Amino acid sequence: MQVHDVELTISAVEENQYPATALPELALVGRSNVGKSSLTNVLINRKNYAHTSGQPGKTQTLNFYEVEHKLYFVDVPGYGYAKVSKKQREKFGKMIENYLTTREQLRGVVQLVDGRHAPTEDDRMMFQWLAYYHIPTLVVATKVDKVKPNAHNRIVKVVKEGLGAAKDQDLILFSATTKKGAESVWQWIEERTGV
């Protein structure tokens, strides 16, 4: 999709702040620093709309971006924060859990993992949690410009194995630097949301 119009509609900390529309929603999850803001900026065709974070774990709200008046991207706080207290972590955990398991408009989740390394235990837990709730999930392996092309097939294998995913799991290799994979990610989103 060629995006011209995008608006950060709301940074929500509570359910009653979520948008009161029926537009389909697509959530983006991943550990802090994995490249979520960078992927979002590429998808919406902006340089720095979603803020790329120098400070891991700073985003502590559900951010709803309305895209082309057709759908919402929902930026979910990065898991595996080091800097927030246990109490905060539990609170955000509950908000995320409620959102992902009860939101009717949610059509799917894009889970980002760092394509340069094997998935972490946090990545695996998140993936398995989404699978348990039968939430359609696209895995996006980020920063693949940092991996030699002849090792790209290996990323696919390592990521799927590390997450405990099936062989036919949807997975796209992505780079915000070269924009490799951007069209395929959009295609998956369009199929899931029907936009």
The residues binding ligand GDP (CB under 6 A) are 30, 32-38, 52-53, 78, 142-143, 145-146, 175-177
Q: Are 26 and 193 within 8 A, CB to CB?
A: yes
Tokens 């999930």, located at residue: 137
Helices (H) and strands (E) in the chain, counts: 5, 7
The nearer residue to ligand GDP, 21 or 55, going by C-beta atoms, is 55
Tell me the H-state helices in the chain: 36-43, 86-102, 121-132, 152-163, 182-193
Instruction: List Cβ neighbours of 86 (8 Å cut-off, separation of 6 or more).
Output: none
**What 3-state class would DSSP assign to 120?**
coil
> Taking the complex as a whole, how short is the minimal distance between the CB of residue 183 and ligand GDP, in angstroms?
15
> Taking the complex as a whole, how short is the minimal distance between the CB of residue 38 and ligand GDP, in angstroms?
3
The nearer residue to ligand GDP, 30 or 119, going by C-beta atoms, is 30
The nearer residue to ligand GDP, 145 or 191, going by C-beta atoms, is 145
> Taking the complex as a whole, how short is the minimal distance between the CB of residue 167 and ligand GDP, in angstroms?
25
The nearer residue to ligand GDP, 25 or 114, going by C-beta atoms, is 114
